[in-house]
Amino acid sequence: MLRFMFVGDSMTIGSAGEHTWRYRLWEHLRASYGRPFTFVGPREALHDPVTDAPTSYAYAEPDFPRAHLAGWGEGWHHMAPLIGATVRTSGADVLLVSLGLIDLGFYTNADQTADNVRAFVAGARTANPRVRMAVMPVVPNIRVEADASFAGQVHRFNELLAKTIADLDEPGSSLLLVPPPAAYDFHTDTYDGTHPNESGEHRIAGAFADAMDEEWGLGAPYSASA
């Protein structure tokens, strides 16, 4: 059985009442992969806006494997120290990673964040030398319109991320740079300028699905009606 693990920030963990793009990808893989798979990770909850903590299990659709390693306000800075032990414990085969926005906004600059990507990859491979990783660049949010410095850091990090993924890719432990959703617009695909609404969830899930299908032959091109 193939074991996927989501590693992400608030866009991945989701909030109470949401489906999440994790669910949208599960629907797609269930319809297209054709072999046993599951989602693994040490966490299952959603973020609860009332308590401002990951304490909610009120998924819009709870009937899917909800395990993940995602957290509101967490980034490469937080996940790099955790990933080795988490991969070892969970037995994850494929990591689906969407991180970086929170790092650049609060913790590290683009170059420091790229260093944390390298530490993350090394930690994951120490636990599983054959682990595969699909990594999405930072999808800009509404802050880029008002903060030119932040927008510049996002652009630089995405360039560094592409180079890092190319440098670290190995035949036995593939690193895949997931092209960000081409039509993604934070004005219409989010509910607050950052967090995906229904269309945003489908676009993010579709980007991962299409990249895995094209590069790894895993699944099929994404269909939102899956």
Structural domain including 164 reads 2-216
Confidence at 214, pLDDT banded by 50, 70, 90: very high
Q: Please report, rounded to a whole number, the percentage of residues in the chain having pLDDT higher than 90.
A: 97
> Taking 80 as the threshold, does the pLDDT of residue 98 lie above it?
yes
164-177 tens-digit pLDDT: 999 999 999 999 99
Other residues' Cβ atoms within 10 Å of the Cβ of residue 46: 24
Q: Which of 52, 64, 67, 65 is nearest to 10 (CA)?
A: 52
56-67 tens-digit pLDDT: 999 999 999 999
Are 194 and 4 in contact by the 8 Å Cβ rule? The answer is: no
> Taking 70 as the threshold, does the pLDDT of residue 225 lie above it?
no
93 domain residue, yes or no: yes
SS3 128: coil
Put simply, whether the predicted model's pTM sits higher than 0.85 gets the answer yes
Contacts 24+ apart (CB under 8 A), 171-175: 172/129, 172/130, 173/125, 173/129, 173/130, 173/131, 173/132, 173/133, 174/132, 174/133, 174/215, 174/216, 175/121, 175/132, 175/133, 175/135
What is the rounded average pLDDT of the residues 75-97? 98
Q: Which residues pair with 4 in a beta bridge?
A: 39, 94
Confidence at 226, pLDDT banded by 50, 70, 90: very low
Instruction: List helix spans (H) across 48-142.
Output: 76-90, 101-102, 110-127
Domain count within the chain: 1
| CATH number, residue 77 | 3.40.50.1110
Gap between the Cα atoms of 208 and 217, Å rounded: 12
Work out whether the CA dihedral 150, 18, 26, 41 comes out positive or negative: positive
27 domain residue, yes or no: yes
Encoding tokens for residue 127? 């636990």
Gap between the Cα atoms of 226 and 221, Å rounded: 11
**Lowest-confidence segment of 36-40, 137-141, 178-182 by average pLDDT:** 178-182
SS3 97: strand
224 domain residue, yes or no: no
Confidence at 21, pLDDT banded by 50, 70, 90: very high
> Taking 70 as the threshold, does the pLDDT of residue 96 lie above it?
yes
102-135 tens-digit pLDDT: 999 999 999 999 999 999 999 999 999 999 999 9
What is the rounded average pLDDT of the residues 37-45? 98
pLDDT of residue 89: 98
69-83 tens-digit pLDDT: 999 999 999 999 999
> Taking 90 as the threshold, does the pLDDT of residue 55 lie above it?
yes
98 domain residue, yes or no: yes
Confidence at 224, pLDDT banded by 50, 70, 90: confident
Q: What is the mean pLDDT of the chain?
A: 97
Encoding tokens for residue 173? 């432990």
What is the rounded average pLDDT of the residues 206-211? 98
